[in-house]
Amino acid sequence: MLQYLSTKEDREAFIDKYDNFLFDCDGVLWEGTNTFDGVAESMTLLREKGKRVFFVTNNSTKSRSSFLKKFEGFGIKAELEEVFSSAFATAAYLKHVLQFPEDKKVYIIGMDGIKDELAAEGIRSCGGEEDAGLTDNDSVPDDKEVGAVVIGLDTKVNYKKYSKAFAYLTRNPGCYFIVTNEDTTFPQHGSFYPGAGAIAAPIIAALGRHPDAVLGKPAQNMLEAIYAESHIDPKKTCMIGDRLDTDIEFGMNGGIDTLCVLTGITTKEQLLSPDNRIRSTYYMDSFGDFSK
């Protein structure tokens, strides 16, 4: 039964029930470049009560250290080890799960966050934000060193980048196809823009197959990484998010309780619709309300 945390007493009882809180970022702590009222104070309150916090974002455009600067700018305390992003998860997956060979490199359609996280794991890459792709008369270069194509949000994506990615995936035997996250849209400047799921769609269509791996929520890779580092008890852990098919499904898949806030993607009407396949344990208007 979906419980509304409407009063101060409801919210205090909620905080007392859990030791660990996993936070989705965009839509819960901030929207783009603006933080929500009371967020920094609410985070301080949780820390003062000795709660552990982790930040779990599907945004692959920044490295973990760039995210720390964003937290700092909003006056929200965060440590590097508390931040889990889809770019970080992608690098960890290539390194530890696929044991990506040292003599291979990754072709990126995506922003610097992916390149930086791969570099932090010692994985070589090419392409990325500034890759202009081919010139009009070029054919796709044969580069047998490309052993994986990673696609995330790329605001400079173009047909030539797609042509390279497609060529590597079809010509290089065993070349992995990895998508950082499947968000079809993301919010910015009060509007919605095509997300990484939309950027990857043309390659999925051209190949006629799905990626070998998608790392962002609702996939469990970031939750597994959190458990590996911190041994938290799932029964004492709650995931706080704004989107049902990423954040709340992520918590549900991991068997942890979930709180949906209404400062992001999901409207109250959508949340309360009887047709929902995905249901949170709780909802409240804004995470910032904990400090009120």
What is the rounded CA–CA span in Å between residue 168 and residue 146?
7
Catalytic-residue membership of 16: no
Residues 116 and 143: their CA atoms lie apart, in Å, by: 21
Q: Which of 24, 82, 112, 154 binds ligand PLP (CB under 6 A)?
A: 24
Residue 104 C-beta: closest distance to ligand PLP, Å: 26
Binds Ca ion by CB under 5 A, chosen from 11, 14, 18, 26: 26
Task: Let me know if 103 is a catalytic residue.
Answer: no
27 binds Ca ion (CB under 5 A): yes
- Answer with the entry of Ca ion, ligand PLP, none that 61 interacts with (C-beta below 5 to 8 A by kind): ligand PLP
Choice from 82, 116, 242, 257 touching Ca ion (CB under 5 A):
242
Q: Does 26 show up as a binding residue in the annotation?
A: yes
Task: Tell whether residue 289 is a contact of Ca ion (CB under 5 A).
Answer: no
- CB closer to ligand PLP out of 147 and 218: 218
Given the residues 10, 16, 19, 24, select the one marked as catalytic.
24
User: Which of 11, 14, 18, 27 forms a contact with ligand PLP (CB under 6 A)?
Assistant: 27
3-state secondary structure the chain: CCEECCCHHHHHHHHHHCCEEEECCECCCEECCEECCCHHHHHHHHHHCCCEEEEEECCCCCCHHHHHHHHHHCCCCCCHHHEEEHHHHHHHHHHHHCCCCCCCEEEEECCHHHHHHHHHCCCCEEECCCCCCCCCCCCCCCCCCEEEEEECCCCCCCHHHHHHHHHHHHHCCCCEEEECCCCCEEEECCEEEECHHHHHHHHHHHHCCCCCEECCCCCCHHHHHHHHHHCCCHHHEEEEECCHHHHHHHHHHCCCEEEEECCCCCCHHHHHCCCCCCCCCEEECCHHHHHC
Q: Annotation-wise, does 236 bind a ligand?
A: no
User: Cβ-closest residue to Ca ion?
Assistant: 27
Which of these segments, 2-10, 20-28, 141-149, 162-170, binds ligand PLP (CB under 6 A)?
20-28
In the complex with Ca ion, the residue whose CB is nearer, 24 or 117, is 24
Report the site for ligand PLP in 143-162 (rule: CB under 6 A): 153
* Residue 112 touches Ca ion, criterion: CB under 5 A: no
Q: How far is the CB of 155 from ligand PLP (least distance, A)?
A: 9
Start-to-end CA distance of the chain, whole Å, equals: 25
Q: Which residue ranges make up the annotated binding site for Mg(2+)?
A: 24, 26, 242
Q: In the complex, which residues of this chain contact Ca ion (CB under 5 A)?
A: 24, 26-27, 242-243
Q: In the complex, which residues of this chain contact ligand PLP (CB under 6 A)?
A: 24-27, 57-59, 61, 153, 181, 183, 186, 195-196
